[in-house]
Amino acid sequence: MGSGLIKGVGPVTAKRIVAHFGLETLDIIENQIERLIEVQGIAKKRITLIKNAWSTQKAIKEVMVFLQGHGVSTTYAVKIYKQYKDEAIATVTKNPYQLAADIYGIGFLTADKIARNIGIAPDSEFRYRAGIIHCLSEAAEDGHCYLPQSELIELVIKLLTTESHQPTEEAISIIIKDMALAEDLIRERDEDKTLLCYKPTYFHTEQNLAQLICQRLEKPVGTDIERVHDWIDRFTASRKIQLSQQQRQAVETAAYSKIMILTGGPGVGKTFTTHTIVSLWKAMGKSIALAAPTGRAAQRLGEMTEQFAIRNSQFAIINQQKLGLITDLRPCSSKISLLALYPNSSGYNFIRNCELLWCG
């Protein structure tokens, strides 16, 4: 009633109507709509509006009754109807797992519950396929672009096992093979011949990003390395410190490489190396943007580099025409999503146009 699909009936009005007529509400609207005048706040003009809207949206009743009869909440029922219109019942009856793919907020577990209520068999191919995609999606949330097929099969079996049914490895393997043939997922072997399973989006994004990184690394920054050596000597002498061979190599690499990862365990000197790199970039006249996963980490990063830093949740996409100008603040997590680096995205263009240092 209060779904917004029927003009003239919002959540408040719907509550009043249901409170007044109870279980007879739909029958009243269908056959005795003039009785809505009995409800506080509903005038004749609104009754006419409701009557016209009800006649044009009559299919809603059948869909809503069907969905709610199979345990679908009003909120989800409205989303389902808006997505599929008059095909809602047919779609849900044939393959309720399609809901997880098409409707935001309805995941595998919700779709699986609806499927059980409708009577979909636990060994349905639709269920197996949806379970495989769900496990790959969950892995992606944890930062994994793929799963080894053996691990994927274990997770799917655990997900799909019920009191009356347990999928076999062979059955899941067959579905995975069929999905790969249909390009609903992608299988690749790594250098150890281990079979890996990807969702297509992550596979293609990973490939494109790897290609971009290779292209960037093939074209180093034009840098006078002798001047860099002299600068490092002056910088360390002025602070009366000495860089280790690895630290010095890292600073030199940052001077000419467009993409660099600085890593190492606690106490190996990442902090001062990062400070030295940022100082070098400043001396080279580069515009610099720094970000860290948390506010405290950003504060620490700013203190050690003497450069303003922000949290990743505020990370700025730098204007491509004038580096250093913050043009768009957008949220992201402490884990950088691969999809944020999809071709033609802001993140992709950011990598393509900037020199990057990841430290961790």
> CATH number for the domain including 300?
3.40.50.300
Pair (225, 346) in one structural domain: yes
Q: Give the least confident one: 72-81, 95-104, 144-153.
A: 72-81
CB-side exposure of 223: number of CA atoms within 13 Å? 25
For residue 292, give the H/E element and its range: strand 290-292
Q: How far is CA 268 from CA 277, 355, 360, in A?
A: 15, 24, 11
Identify whether residues 303 and 320 lie together within a single domain: yes
Q: Residue 315 has what pLDDT? A: 44
Residues 237 and 343 in one domain: yes
Asked if 346 and 322 sit in the same domain, the reply is: yes
Do 234 and 352 fall within a single domain?
yes
Q: Quick one: 320 and 280 in the same domain?
A: yes
Domain membership flag for residue 212: no
Mean model confidence pLDDT for the chain: 83
Is 162 a domain residue? yes
Rounded Cα distance, 76 and 113, in Å: 13
Q: Are residues 136 and 186 in the same domain?
A: yes
**Contact present, 75 and 82 (Cβ < 8 Å):** no
Which domain range does residue 185 map to? Answer: 125-198
- Domain boundary at 198, 230, 263, which? 198
| Residue 203 forms part of a structural domain | no
What is the structure's pLDDT at 121?
96
pLDDT digits (tens, 9 = 90+) for 326-338: 333 333 344 456 5
Chosen domain end from 101, 118, 135: 118
Q: How many domains does the chain have?
A: 3
Q: Which residue has the tokens 């095909």?
A: 87
Range with the lowest mean pLDDT among 17-21, 184-188, 209-213, 334-338? Answer: 334-338
Q: Which residue has the higher pLDDT, 124 or 7?
A: 124
Answer whether residue 139 is part of any domain: yes
Per-residue model confidence (pLDDT) at position 251: 93
Q: Is pLDDT of 123 > 60? A: yes
**6 domain-assigned:** no
Contact status, residue 275 vs residue 357, Cβ threshold 8 Å: no
The radius of gyration computed from the CA coordinates of the chain, to the nearest angstrom, equals 29
Same domain (yes/no): 333, 284: yes
What's the rounded Cα separation, in Å, for the pair 39 and 24? 14
Q: pLDDT class for 62, splitting at 50, 70, 90?
A: confident
What is the Cα–Cα distance from 274 to 291, expressed in whole angstroms? Answer: 13
pLDDT in the model for residue 80: 92
| Strand, coil or helix: 345 | coil
Q: Is residue 284 part of a domain?
A: yes
State both tokens at 172. 């899941």
Lowest mean pLDDT among 1-10, 29-38, 85-94, 330-339: 330-339
So what's the pLDDT on residue 344? Answer: 60
Which residues does residue 195 pair with via DSSP β-bridges, in sequence order?
A: 189
Residue 312: both structure tokens together: 């990743």
Q: Is the pLDDT of residue 245 over 70?
A: yes
In a domain, 293, yes or no: yes
Of 346 and 187, the structure prediction assigns the larger pLDDT to 187
Are both 224 and 281 inside the same structural domain?
yes
Summarize the confidence of residues 347-358 as an average pLDDT.
66
**In this predicted structure, which of 113-117, 200-204, 263-267, 302-306 has the lowest mean pLDDT?**
302-306
Q: Are residues 48 and 163 in the same domain?
A: no
Q: Is 272 left (phi over 0), alpha (psi -120 to 50) or beta?
A: alpha
Using the predicted structure, report yes or no on whether residue 153 has a pLDDT greater than 60.
Answer: yes
The CA distance from 9 to 354, in Å, is 53
pLDDT tens per residue across span 267-289: 888 888 988 998 998 898 888 87
**Which CATH number covers residue 190?**
1.10.10.10
Predicted pLDDT at 314? 44
For the chain, percent of residues with pLDDT exceeding 90: 42
The letter for the amino acid at 189 is R
Q: 176 near 185, Cβ under 8 Å?
A: yes
pLDDT over threshold 60, residue 324: no
Do 341 and 226 fall within a single domain? yes
What percent of the chain clears pLDDT 70, i.e. is strictly above it?
Answer: 82
More confident residue, 344 or 69: 69
pLDDT band with cut points at 50, 70 and 90 for residue 12:
confident
Residue 1 resides in a domain: no
**Of 100, 118, 136, the domain-final residue:** 118
Same domain, 95 and 155: no
Which neighbouring-strand residues pair with 165? none
